[in-house]
Structure 1
């Protein structure tokens, strides 16, 4: 019998790719989405794929969706650098996980074998001057963004649940990029669009590193965490540690276009961020750059995925390999020209 897996946040950037990957590997997938969600990135319905409507903040709808499932992929999250009501980060990212754990306890006697929880490298904190692994715990003394704060709090809740015997496997992607939705969840694609359209004329950020994770590698890492991951063990699903300067330089080499000639000072980006927030409050459209984004750029976020390589056979591609796929894809969509 096919295992039935529930994917929360299935309409999101990672969630949609995960649904496709699970179907490709023979699982029966139940996609948990809100009625207002854009479902264009999801597989066609029928057969081994079904949609369950609800919201992770609505416990009743979540509990109903759990029925008949063997594995829960809790990928739902509010992923934005800034929103007008910051309390929503806690209600979705912390409250959503609490509801998943509560629903598991109610359904535990039935079919659920494992919960794979999508955390984030932000939950472990910055790594200024070194490369971190799964042993790092966020100091919780300072947070660059409300998103980071919510994921750090949720991480603690996940580990406490694991200590109580809940079969939860937390996974920690880095900066996710690749084909799929061009949203703030795919910030590399967004920045490349800005760069190739002349709206981002220089380099952004310091020489500090980020860990870049291709979305399809992360999806495969989730499936491996379900099949091989040990409950209560953390797994970093990160990739190559590089800077956004490396991203732009590689993109220029691949497309045979000019590299940026200067670095935009962070104080100028911060001023632009404050102006963008002001415009956002008037128009309702979320800003591309905000002051919390600038704070993230001041730090290093570099991680090792050796544990996932050894235990999950996780095999992340290089940043160059990923960009060789992403750039022609963005060009085919008409979003960039070169």
Structure 2
């Protein structure tokens, strides 16, 4: 009997790929989207849709009750919904922590707890640690998030772990890139226009994971039946701050580029101004206080040994291979 799976945040970058993988595996896939969300990458006729309002408890109760009456529950839930950009820091707590808590508490009341509940968190829950010796961040480290986004994700993780017997699996990916992604695309677009910017002069160790590798890790956890586990996800390699831009330039045909290394003090001022302009205009900005702290962080190494040993994780994409594919995709789709 085919498994029923719900992917929240299905219209987003990672969510849409999670939906596609579920279909490839012959699952009965439900995509949770907002009424106003784009369904551009959710066009497969086999996809079934669910609209759930995680921030309105009463409405969510009625939505889940109606779904249960008509379709039953889900065997698996991959909770990818959340917010990454907000006008106010309190919105991160509402969109990530409280939305997830409301969802789980309502699932519990409706007796719809799945076999596995996968929560897509972030490496940002650990903040800027090991910045002197550049050792990998690991499970034994104490999280020290320094961004509102990271704090909200950590609060959610702590809540999941506090639930007795709840079948959670947490994934903490580092920088996720791939087709359809827009934040790294802004960097690529800038390079295509002959301008590349780096943050600070001190050594910065970066890590990446191609979206298809993250998706494989998630479905491996479902297949192997692990519960109450947390995993870091990267491609297993460490890169300098120039590697990504150099690979992008190569795939773009090596255009001339002015590379500007922005002092962190200047970047902080620019981020502060951009954030306040954003609040006045009512529109979120890519550059803000949280983004400054992310760009400032020097050590993004993480230990994926548990992922390899427990889930047989074998990343298929090196950064070079991944960049080659995304540049080809951006060109094909007319983004470049």
Q: Partners in 2 of 1:119 and 1:28 — Cα distance?
A: 24
Q: Partners in 2 of 1:253 and 1:229 — Cα distance?
A: 41
Match among 184, 188, 211 for residue 184 of structure 2:
188
Alignment of 1:104-143 (within 5 A): 104-108=107-111, 112-127=114-129, 128=131, 129-139=134-144, 143=145
CA-CA distance at 1:204 after TM superposition: 3.2
Q: Partners in 2 of 1:294 and 1:57 — Cα distance?
A: 28
Matched, 1:256 2:253: yes
User: SS state of the match for residue 5, structure 2?
Assistant: strand
Q: Partners in 1 of 2:114 and 2:197 — Cα distance?
A: 49
Q: Partners in 1 of 2:127 and 2:225 — Cα distance?
A: 23
Q: What TM-score, normalized by structure 1, do the two folds share? A: 0.87
Change (3 A) 1:318 1:26: same
Cα deviations across residues 206-265 of structure 1 (Å, max 9, x unaligned)? 532232111111111111111125211111122233244221122223333145544222
Q: Partners in 2 of 1:204 and 1:43 — Cα distance?
A: 39
Q: What TM-score, normalized by structure 2, do the two folds share? A: 0.88
Alignment of 1:11-22 (within 5 A): 11-22=11-22
Cα deviations across residues 117-172 of structure 1 (Å, max 9, x unaligned)? 11111123333221122333314xxx4321011011111112222xx111111111
Query: Is this contact kept in 2: 1:20–1:43, CA < 8 A?
Result: no
Match among 198, 202, 222 for residue 197 of structure 2:
202
Query: Is this contact kept in 2: 1:131–1:303, CA < 8 A?
Result: yes
User: SS state of the match for residue 210, structure 1?
Assistant: coil
User: SS state of the match for residue 198, structure 2?
Assistant: coil
Change (3 A) 1:329 1:170: same
Match among 276, 279, 291 for residue 274 of structure 2:
276
Corresponding residue number in structure 2 for 1:160: 162
Query: Is this contact kept in 2: 1:120–1:174, CA < 8 A?
Result: yes
Q: Partners in 1 of 2:125 and 2:292 — Cα distance?
A: 18
The answer for unaligned runs of 5 or more in structure 1 is: none
Give the alignment's Cα RMSD to 1 decimal: 2.2
Q: Partners in 2 of 1:115 and 1:217 — Cα distance?
A: 19
The answer for unaligned runs of 5 or more in structure 2 is: none
Q: Partners in 1 of 2:98 and 2:180 — Cα distance?
A: 27
Matched, 1:304 2:307: no
Q: Partners in 1 of 2:106 and 2:332 — Cα distance?
A: 43
Corresponding residue number in structure 2 for 1:289: 287
Q: Partners in 2 of 1:104 and 1:167 — Cα distance?
A: 13
Q: Partners in 1 of 2:272 and 2:43 — Cα distance?
A: 39
Corresponding residue number in structure 2 for 1:2: 2
The alignment of Structure 1 onto Structure 2 pairs a total of residues equal to 321
CA-CA distance at 1:289 after TM superposition: 1.5
Corresponding residue number in structure 2 for 1:92: 95
User: SS state of the match for residue 22, structure 1?
Assistant: helix
Corresponding residue number in structure 1 for 2:31: 31
Query: Is this contact kept in 1: 2:196–2:257, CA < 8 A?
Result: no
Q: Partners in 2 of 1:209 and 1:152 — Cα distance?
A: 23
Change (3 A) 1:334 1:265: farther
User: SS state of the match for residue 242, structure 1?
Assistant: coil
Corresponding residue number in structure 2 for 1:101: 104
User: SS state of the match for residue 29, structure 2?
Assistant: strand
Cα deviations across residues 49-70 of structure 1 (Å, max 9, x unaligned)? 2011122223343634564211
User: SS state of the match for residue 203, structure 1?
Assistant: strand
Query: Is this contact kept in 2: 1:174–1:237, CA < 8 A?
Result: yes
Q: Partners in 1 of 2:170 and 2:225 — Cα distance?
A: 9
Match among 217, 237, 240 for residue 221 of structure 1:
217
Q: Partners in 2 of 1:229 and 1:122 — Cα distance?
A: 26
CA-CA distance at 1:95 after TM superposition: 0.8
